[in-house]
Structure 1
Amino acid sequence: MDGSVARPRPFLALGIRLAAAATLATMSMLVKVTEARGASLTELVFWRQLITLICITGLLAAWGRLRVLKTNRLRAHGGRAIMGITGMFLVYGAVVLLPLAEASALGFTSPLFAVLLGVFLFKDRPGKYRWSAVALGFAGVLVLTQPGFGLGGTAGIDPFGAVVGLLAALWVAIISMQIQDLNKTESPWSIVFWFTAFTTPLMALALPFVYVPHDPVTWSLILAMGLCGALAQMLLTASLRFGSAGVILLIDYTGLLWATFYGWSVFERTPPTSLWFGAPLIVGAGLLIAWRERALAAERKTKRQSLEPKAR
């Protein structure tokens, strides 16, 4: 992975993203558990970043490949770091404030925000399919969050947690665009290294204000969380290197299965009715967007091929 630009390898990208979804769900479960045992979000973010930085630097040094960290785009890495660390707090905050499955489902609104970002930032003109997907997805959000009282007369999820979850999804969409841009010239190792190199010192400055002693079990959970974070970071970055974000993001939906499993097995929480009704609408919206993006890409490719003979 030393080259600056990788050739598209969709099946490899899908496999990497599948592993990333499972690893991220496991990390989210560990974040929720360790936070309940007294670790603050700031501390968890610090250890996650530090462990990732150590793992990447150690591996590259052992392999004699530190040269892949050389970059001429420090400003772009800095911007990605600012957005990335903000997004990390939002994602972790949603996990802490909401049940795992609901936090995971809200995270799947990222493709919807990607469509809206395209409209406002790049003057895209979505057609009826993508606008329908946006409407369907946010209808699913309303069913899932149940403003006021929802299905069966039960109260919806924490409104503040829902807002944090939606903001986290927005930030994921923005960060995915940043990473795809960086992948044009940078290796996945470089992207993750500079993200952690910029943010670890910042989190270290805040650590004295939030740190509390932990027992050995909590420390082991923090270590496991950090290792999962390091692995997930590399897997996510690599998947965006080998495949289109619009396609491989579909695999993220498998994370809902892991989140539901952990919610039941670790936190003894049976998914509510609203999840079974709301989550399929959100997932369906993402699938519709992915299908439409793929159809448009095929149309553009056919058009280019038809014009090639005329150009010659």
Structure 2
Amino acid sequence: MITRLTLLLAATLSLSSAFAEPKKLLVVTVTTGFRHSSIETAEKVIAELGQKSGAFTVDYVHHPEGQPKNPGKPPVKGPKDTDESFKGKQEAYSAALAKFNEDNKAWGDKIKAYMADKMALDKIKHYDGFVFANTTGDLQFPDREGFIKLIEGGKAFIAMHSGSDTYHPFRGYIDMLGGEFETHKAQVEIQPILHSPGHIITKSVPQGWKVFDEIYIIKSFDKAKVHGLLGLDSHPNLSQMNDEEKAKVTAEKRYYPVSWCKEYGAGRVYYNSLGHREDVWDPTWKADTKERRNSPEIAQTYQEMILAGIKWALKLDEAVSTPGNIP
């Protein structure tokens, strides 16, 4: 009888799970700093993962249109420039910079009003989780502390790549995430250490897995406070350095995290610093062209990590995620 009841209960739970409403994710792709060309690809991939898995639906807070273009660095006098022609370039640049500064102030006001509407707590509190897909800068949330309390209260938070290059002055965000972007060098192929091969997020990552991407150097990171998933024991660009640079970074004996997850109050946080390149996100992006540096299989593995990370953060899947597992 006990066995029958147990089997009946298990079947009932399985059936109810199969017909459970999908979770609701809000994907934010607003940037007030550098804007990655891979954001549109990321938006597409996250929507596809939700649709194919049936685990979640996706709404977006897209980047509003009309951001002014920075005129860039001031002109440098070339060998063919006369004093008069170079003066003309300088004056044109000064005028363009003044126009940009004026337009950018208006743009900042527009972003603030836009985010006050889109990210008001009463409008977003019904979501089960939030994804920062390559966000950058100060996102101008109307109540950033309130947003962090949503995560602490039980919501999911997932960030990819420059999600760590976001809200630097706001330590509440950095503490919640577990680390922040410091710098990066040239794109490079890495073979990250698989710290937790049995974890639901990384179980699809094969031993010896390699990926070509822009690899972040992360600061404000404490091994003891996260469950490490992927990382490096040496600088990702060591092979590209001269002997003096190699000696300097080797002497630091620094650890370079790539991906981790953590509990945050009653909520869960997953971060993956990969995702600068479109071909990391999408197996089909510019297939069979020289622009691809990652095989479709590498992108497929990345997608599997992202999907598993989202489901873990949403508490749809469980895995031992004890902090302090990085040697």
The TM-score normalised by the length of structure 2 is 0.28
Greater radius of gyration (CA): 2
The TM-score normalised by the length of structure 1 is 0.29
Q: Which structure: greater strand fraction?
A: 2
Highest relative contact order (Cα 8 Å, sep 6+), 1 or 2?
1
